[in-house]
């Protein structure tokens, strides 16, 4: 099996750029694409001997989801060990909109609406592995 060591996983970058929905950071090795990598959510469940290929962090962009991140990181490994999902919530920002309505008698009514906005970012971390056969 021929290995091609690289600093950034070109495959993952291509997946992220083509969908523009998931930002990935990967360091490690690449191998030929694997059709159906196994998915593990605990290191205790990984059977047999394996080599660690590399580590990846995938962050879905706004209006995207973690399922798209999972698809972006499954390429090229025999298995993916998901190590966690972290969530970051930004400080709130406030936007106030005013509307003034004048009535026929010369009086006016002022209405102010304030909207509170928060940005929630999810981050998926995983390790790629190749089984030793």
pLDDT of residue 31: 84
Pairing of strands 38-40, 79-89: parallel
50-90 pLDDT tens trace: 999 999 888 877 655 656 656 656 567 889 898 888 888 88
Please state, in angstroms and rounded to a whole number, the distance separating the CA atoms of residues 12 and 29.
Answer: 11
- Residue 66 has a pLDDT of 58
Q: pLDDT digit string (tens) for 101-118?
A: 998 898 999 999 999 988
Strand 93-102 and strand 4-6: the pairing is: unpaired
Q: Is the pTM of this model over 0.85?
A: no
Beta bridge partners of 100: 110
What burial class does residue 63 get, using C-beta atoms within 10 Å of its C-beta: 0-12 exposed, 13-18 middle, 19+ buried? exposed
DSSP 64: -
């Amino acid at each position: 099996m021929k290995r091609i060591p690289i600093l950034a996983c070109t495959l993952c970058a291509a997946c992220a750029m083509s969908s523009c929905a998931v930002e990935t950071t990967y360091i490690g090795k690449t191998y030929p694409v694997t059709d159906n990598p196994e998915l593990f959510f605990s290191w205790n469940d990984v059977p047999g001997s394996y080599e660690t290929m590399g580590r990846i962090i995938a962050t879905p962009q706004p209006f995207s989801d973690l399922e798209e991140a999972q698809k972006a990181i499954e390429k090229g490994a025999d298995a993916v060990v998901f190590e966690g999902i972290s969530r970051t919530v930004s400080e709130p920002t406030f936007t106030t909109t005013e509307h003034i309505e004048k009535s026929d008698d010369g009086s006016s009514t002022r209405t102010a609406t304030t909207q509170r906005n928060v940005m929630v970012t999810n981050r998926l971390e995983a390790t790629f592995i190749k089984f030793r056969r």
